[in-house]
Structure formats: structure tokens, C-alpha cells
Amino acid sequence: MSGLKPSRHILIVLVIGVIAAGVLYSLPKFVVKNEPSNAESAQSSSEEKTEEPHVTLSESQLTEINEIRNSNDTEEGIYQNLATYFAGQNLFDSSAYYAEKKANLTNTETDWLLAGDFYFQSYSLALNPIRQEELAEKTREVYQKALAINPNQLHARTNTAMTYVSSASPMQAIMMLRQVLDLNPRYVPAIMSMGALSMQSGQYDKAVGRFEQALSIDSGNLNAQLGLAYSLVELGEKERAKEILEALSQIGLDEVLQNEVNNTLESLK
């Protein structure tokens, strides 16, 4: 047996492989609750209905936020700075909200992608199933704005596909990912996502093939190496998995992931 349950393996590969943020799965799962301005009232009302944990902002945070709001920057600049600030606090619901407000002003592919990415991060971290589905729908809506500008935006297509993984139509994720790979067979995020979905369905042999394919394109891809190692563990190929994990443990992983790797290596002895 490995040190991680298969579902934990999949969580790691899905989150760090698709979002491309190595420690994102360990971030606190909070949404902002403060004294909202008129601009935030709709968001705050929506959040109150979800029964998800809230955190009250500190006085210093409120001061910093007010400084941003009251700056002499443009409206677009204020929204951008607020989005950046809340992302730095790991409050992705709020960063998504302000990034979307900026995108509504600029209507650029780049800004819609940024808003979509923040919503996708919020979706990936949501604990409440109702809130998760709300955020999945919002993610699709915002990414669709980017796709209306550039239908071949593979990042938006891939992340949109992954919002269907926990929905009532999980096969739609696979169908959409295949469409991405039809456009670019070497697009690593989509290959990684297909590998993660193979893990989710217990098809570890197929997962191995996907992660090996990703590594043939990007040999240094940490996430593909992790996915390959954990898939090999589930297939009983412990020596090969151990070799990969031992090599990874030497490159300076973040603390949470290093602990997971250490636990798995210990269980493979």
C-alpha cells in the first residue's frame, strides 16, 4: 500500500497539474467576509448563502484595502490591484470578483483569462458542494468570454473541461479535453488532465501512458513525474515509483508535498 490514498494522488495531480501552482492544494479554504462596499454587496450576499467558512479581515487588511480603493489610480487599476491583493491573501473568491470587474471594462482575452483563473482556483478549493458548483458555472461563464475572443485558447478550454469533473456530466470533461488535444496533441496541461482523469477512474495503465507522454514533451515536469510515480504505485511497480520519488525528494519540494512524498517512500520500503 502507498502512503497516500488513490483519491489523494488524484487531488495532487489534478490541482497542481492543471492550475500549475505547486502548493495550491494546501492553501486555506476561506472566502472574504468584511464590511462590503456597494461594489461588493452582491458578492457578499452570494457567499453568505453557501455555509462555507468565512474569515474576518484584520484591521491592517482593511486599511490596505481602503488605501487601494481610495488611490488616484484608474478604475481599471483599482480593480486590478484589489484582485492582486486578495490573491495574495489566498482569498480567491474576492480576487476573481475584482478581476471580473476589470475584464468587464477592458473586454480583453488576457483579463478574462485572469478572472477565469481566479474563479477556477476558488472552484478547486471550495469545500461546500453547492458553492463548488456555483463556482464551476462562474468559471465556465468567464472563460467563455475569453473563448469568444479567441476560440483556440487552449488554457481556457482545458480548465473549463476540468470544471465538469465533479459535475453530473463528467464525460464532458473527457470530450472537451480530446477536442483540445485535437487542436494541439502536444499541449501538456490537457495531457496531464487526461492522466488525472484516468487515475480518477482507476485506469492507472492509461494514466502512466499520459504522464509518460507529458514527460516526453517536458522532461522536467514535476507534476507529470508525480502522476507517473503514484500511478506506478497503484500498478504495483514499486521500485520504479520509488526511483522517481527519491529523485524528486532531492530537488527541494515545498514542505507539504515533501511530507507526502516521504510518507509514500516510507510505505514502499
Residue 191 in contact with residue 215, Cβ under 8 Å?
no
* Domains of the chain: residue spans and CATH: 1-26+172-269 (1.25.40.10), 31-89+91-151 (no CATH)
Residue 229 in contact with residue 212, Cβ under 8 Å?
no
Give the 3-state secondary structure of residue 56: strand
Dist CA 111 CA 108 (whole Å): 5
Dist CA 51 CA 43 (whole Å): 14
Q: What is the pLDDT along the chain (269 residues), one digit of tens a residue?
A: 444 444 444 445 544 444 433 223 223 333 333 334 433 433 443 333 333 334 578 899 999 999 999 999 999 999 999 999 999 999 999 999 999 999 999 999 999 999 999 999 999 999 899 999 999 999 999 999 999 999 999 999 999 999 998 888 889 999 999 999 999 999 999 999 999 999 988 999 999 999 999 999 999 999 999 999 999 999 999 999 999 999 999 988 888 888 889 999 999 88
Give the 3-state secondary structure of residue 168: coil
First to last CA, the chain: 10
